[in-house]
Amino acid sequence: MDTVPLITFVEVFVGSLFTIFGIWITNQANLERLKIQLEHEKETN
């Protein structure tokens, strides 16, 4: 019975890592898109 809380903790920890990694990927993509948009706006003005 002592291993059940440990397994649960590990599952929650791994799930949190996946979530943080997904957020990081999304932020990197948004940053790249905003850089492209800024360059385009500089060229058009």
Asked if residue 2 has pLDDT above 70, the reply is no
Specify the pTM.
0.74
Give the model's pLDDT for residue 1.
54
Cα gap 3→41, rounded to integer Å: 57
Cα gap 12→1, rounded to integer Å: 18
- Dump pLDDT digits (tens) for 7-42: 999 999 999 999 999 999 999 999 999 999 999 999
The residue with greater pLDDT, 4 or 27, is 27
Q: Where are the alpha helices (DSSP H) in 1-45?
A: 3-44
DSSP at 2 = -
